[in-house]
Structure 1
Amino acid sequence: MFLSRTGLTRLLLLLALIWYRSGRVVKNSILNRSEFPRGYVAGGNYATDCAVARNPADARGESLSACEDETFWELHDALGRVVERPVIATCDPHRRTWNTVMGPLRDPNPLGGLWLYAHGAPTTTGGGRTAAPRILAPDVTPNRAHRIALVGYPEGHDFHPLGAAVWPSYEGNASSLYVVNHARARTVIEQFTISPARPLEAHHVRTISSRFFVSPNALALTSPDAFYVTNDHLITRRWPIIGHFLPIIETLFALPLGFISHVTLTPPGGSRDIARHTFAKLFLPLPNGISVNAVGNRLAVSSSSLAQVYVYARDAATDRLPQLLNTVPLPFTPDNLHYSRARSTGIENIVVAGHPHFPSLTAVGANKTGAAAPSWVMAIIPKIENGAKPATVFDTDAPISASSKLPSDGARWTLQTLFQSDGVESAGGFGSSCTGLFDPDTGNLYVTGLYAEGGMMVCKPNEKK
């Protein structure tokens, strides 16, 4: 049956609206699949400098695989210097059977886990890479991943970790660790404590629930007991019947129904967990990763459906976000992001990872034979020169340059590729990148893969240098 003239007009207007809102995203991340290299790492040799962290001897169901988020756990000495930065990663090998964001929702029973990876040489930030007393327990073998035991975790309580954030440790004291948990009934946030003396034990404190936790995704701490949390959708796959298609429409049309909350907690053991909840920013299209800079006056959040990063001014006294400072378009759909100090300038960049070809990602999630999802990790770098203008040629060292997919960079920022891979794991690639961490002292780059069998890629391009 053919559409009437009115129906055809409405369809064309609808398609025009999608193209106006998301044309660049559709072109770069849906229609076109670039020929990515097997692997590329900035300033290094992928073949010799990068390796997955998963131990191949581990059974898949209990292994470090399908890792979503990762965060540095900064360990400070008595002088306040960061001397170690172990990585804590959230992994769920059964993500293909339980994924409340992308689906499906078939089997919530197997549990995900937390993992810790410690670099071999402690460092300080006061003048480069120099030896310093180790704070992390000496029985933690460096340069390998260790599963973190969940001590005191409620029996029968699901654990499907997504976003995570941990407060720094000072002179060896225990840190608060928060993890978004996409449990079977509803999404909650788990609070743990973790100590450098026993870093392979996360002691469960409480499960935090709220009617405002509609679709929590990523966390950014503002104190040991306060954080921002993104809610990526208003309509979720948990809804009966309409949950099979309305969340897809919300994503496809980049509907601004997501939001950022700021939550302040009460001390554990009270009658309620949340002392104060505020909506820091409403009406965002699929807000995903979130990060606060070291000074605390900037907040960055990624919009996956519009393939861009928003940078807001932050009022540290009120936790409000009074002004949008920058909107940074990306050549891929971004997932998580983190502020990170650059080695050469000391200026904070934003390291963001994401998915260059979304149909490939969904094919991998659906276990389609031969499917591979490419990876892309990029740094958003502030321009410090006065009177800088947008450039049409940039990111020229990358095999697939960002300038081949974007018309220009910005007057106040540019882009640099840190990592790329075609995602063919059977041939040595690394796929479905969703988080990138850059250590400014060692120069190490850590990349997690949403569906990657290897879980986390560790690149050390500066180790031999």
Structure 2
Amino acid sequence: MLGKLSTAVFLGLVAFLWPQISLLLETQKLSAITPDKLTKVNAFKEHEVKFRDLLKNCEDVILVEEQQVALLSCDTGRDNWNTVMGTFRDPSGAGVLYQWFYTDPDAVPSPIALEHPTNGSYFTTDFHPLGIEYHAPSGTLFVTNHAAHGPTLEILSFKPWSGFGRAVAKHVRTIRDPSIWTPNSLIPLSATSILLTNDHFFKIRFNRPLARTETQLALPGGNVVHVSLPPADAPADAPANVTTLARGIPFCNGIALLNSSTVAVASTTRRSVSLYELVPPPAGSPAWTPPSLSFRTESHAPAFLDNISTDQNGRLLVAGHPSVGALSATVAQRITCNELRAKQASGANLDEAEHATEKECDEEEKHVKAATWAAELSFKEDGSPMWRELLVGNDIYGSSATVARDAKAGLTFVSGLYERGLFVGKE
């Protein structure tokens, strides 16, 4: 009798866990795919990789369609400092935010000067921007900063500037909070209300084995929090009100508003986009009262997802990594290459094997091994997901992190986490 009961319990446990086991098995299979085995896709009639000599390692690209300007979050220092992937060699190289008026054929991306409102230059070091978003009505720029001194949410006042002189973003305040633990992506609901993702529970900087385990087993450690900022006239060090809205999301990454009542959230290791109903706080609630999120549905993808965005037609655009092995190899090689360059800079001689590696470094800089997966997600009348791949492979552009589209201008942009330049396609 006891044997039958044990068998029944075992079978019941397997049945309960099978969806997760099946997902992990499929994920392991995808993890072994190399870029040369991918089916290449290019859905664009015309394409160009622009500004290879200027832009490097751009994580996020935000479009302000009304002014036809793109805002980019780039960090050449990511080769030495990436708190998501676990690279902690040297945080000294600061990242840069750019603006680019993309319909002007003569325009090039120009750095946005980040200034303290009274003391001039604000970010000169220890600035490692990841997710950025812009709230146009208030002219507020939000940045998740993976600084060496700890993660922060930076709030800046900014208006795109196409005249003479430089574009300037004035620093408003820095938000530090224990609930903003591993910040990744964000979306503003207003000038003072933000939804933000934490991608892990275990921080790889402090506990690499547990963070790796969380990633590899797709453990549900990520979450979505709501950040309510202090009033504009509050002291610069006034705390924010941070509330957790959705828990248990493995490697919680990109977030976007699909429409006014629906939030989309990407899980990297579940390879999925989940939709949540966004419910505003009751009428008459205090200004800091958070909304709520209610889970609706989940759609799986054939890649490890990164950032997501929405175009003017309500189409969800998703970037991801179809070959995580190639991405990991790129990260490892960048570290090796920078160590060799540091050795050369010190005046030391390289041996024969190191000279061979040096040549591989130069080649990798020109052609990133990590592949791109850029796609569009829409839904049929019955609610079932429908994926349309836009760009797949690494022969044109690699390591896709974000896809953004100006549907009216007919332009699609893809940024590359470890790539040079910005992909621009016309469908």
TM-score band, normalised by shorter chain:
0.7 to 0.9
Q: Tell me the distance in 2 between the aligned counterparts of 1:71 and 1:317.
A: 27
Report if the CA contact (8 A) 1:73-1:167 is conserved.
no
Contact 2:114 2:123 in 1 (8 A): no
Counterpart code for 1:358: V
Give the corresponding residue for 1:232: 199
Between 148-157 and 256-265, report the one with greater CA deviation: 148-157
Q: Shift of the alpha carbon at 1:320?
A: 3.8
Conservation of the 8 A alpha-carbon contact between 2:193 and 2:227 = yes
- What is the distance in 2 between the residues matched to 1:443 and 1:145? 20
Among 375, 382, 386, the alignment partner of 1:378 is: 375
Q: Deviations over 1:282-332 (max 9, x none)?
A: 1111100001134x2000000001101100111133654443222000000
Question: Counterpart of 2:330?
Answer: 364
Q: What pairs with 1:268-287 in structure 2 (closer than 5 Å)?
A: 268=232, 270-271=234-235, 272-287=237-252
> What is the CA distance between 1:275 and its match in structure 2?
4.4
Amino acid at match of 2:316: I
SS of equivalent residue, structure 2 residue 215: helix
| SS of equivalent to 1:317 | coil
Which residue number in structure 1 is paired with residue 298 of structure 2?
Answer: 327
The DSSP-based 3-state class of the residue aligned with 2:78 is coil
Question: 3-state DSSP class of the match of 1:363?
Answer: helix
1:53 corresponds, among 50, 53, 69, to 50
Structure 1: gaps spanning 5 or more residues? 1-12, 57-62, 76-83, 122-140, 343-347, 389-410
Matches within 5 A, 1:263-302: 263-268=227-232, 270-271=234-235, 272-294=237-259, 296-302=260-266
Cα drift, residue 35 of structure 1: 3.4
For residue 203 of structure 1, what is the amino acid of its counterpart? K
Q: Is the contact made by 1:236 and 1:247 (CA closer than 8 Å) also made in structure 2? A: yes
1:340 paired residue among 290, 311, 316 = 311
Alpha carbons of structure 1 residues 322 and 175: separation in structure 2 relative to 1, 3 Å:
closer
Per the alignment, residue 160 of structure 1 pairs with 128
If each structure's helix is expressed as a fraction of its own residues, which one has the higher value? 2
How many residues get paired? 367
> What is the CA-CA distance between 1:143 and the residue it aligns to?
4.7
Shift of 1:200: 2.1
> 8 Å contact 1:193–1:205 — kept in the other structure?
yes
- 2 CA distance for matches of 1:155 and 1:285? 32
Q: Tell me if structure 1 keeps the 8 A contact 2:52–2:420.
A: no
Asked if 2 retains the 8 angstrom alpha-carbon contact of 1:98 and 1:104, the reply is yes
SS in 2 for 1:164: strand
Q: Is the 8 A contact 2:115 2:122 kept in 1?
A: no
Amino acid of the structure 2 residue aligned with 1:194: F
Q: 1:445 maps to what in 2?
A: 412
Q: Distance in 1 between matches of 2:192 and 2:376?
A: 29
What is the letter of the counterpart of residue 308 of structure 1? S
Q: 2:423 aligns with which of 444, 453, 457?
A: 457
CA distance in 1, matches of 2:28, 2:39: 22
Q: 1:185 to 1:418 in 2, by over 3 A?
A: same
1:113 and 2:96 correspond: yes
Give the counterpart letter for 2:311 in structure 1: S
- Please name the residue that 2:141 is paired with: 177
Aligned equivalents of 1:380 and 1:156: distance in 2? Answer: 39
Paired residues of 1:306 and 1:333 also in contact (CA < 8 A): yes
Map 1:303-318 → 2, pairs under 5 A: 303-317=267-281
Partner of residue 37, structure 2: 35
The root-mean-square deviation of aligned C-alpha atoms, in Å, is: 2.5
Moved more, 191-200 or 109-118: 191-200
Rounded Cα–Cα distance in structure 2 between residues aligned with 1:255 and 1:303:
11
TM-score, normalised to structure 2's length? 0.80
